[in-house]
Amino acid sequence: MAYGAKVTGCTVHVATEQVDAGPILAQEAVDVLPGDDQSTLHERIKAVERRLYVDTIRTILQRERVS
């Protein structure tokens, strides 16, 4: 926000020994809205993260059932 970013987001990836190095499973952008502060933006990111985690896990489980 300090640099004028208009979008941020969240990523679900496989955990590896290196930080943020695992394969990406899902990503979603979150817009930075006029009037946002760290708190309001953080709350919107957390809401997207929670849904994205559930959606990603559901997708993985559905693929395993098909196999």
pTM score, whole prediction: 0.80
Mean per-residue pLDDT of the chain: 92
What values do phi and psi take at 55, rounded to 5? Answer: -60, -40
The residue ranges of every structural domain in the chain are: 7-66
pLDDT at 67 > cutoff 60: no
Q: Convert the pLDDT of each residue in 10-62 to its tens digit.
A: 999 999 999 989 999 999 999 999 999 999 999 999 999 999 999 999 999 99
Cβ proximity of 60 and 38 under 8 Å: no
39-49 residue pLDDT tens: 999 999 999 99
Cβ–Cβ under 8 Å, residues 28 and 42? no
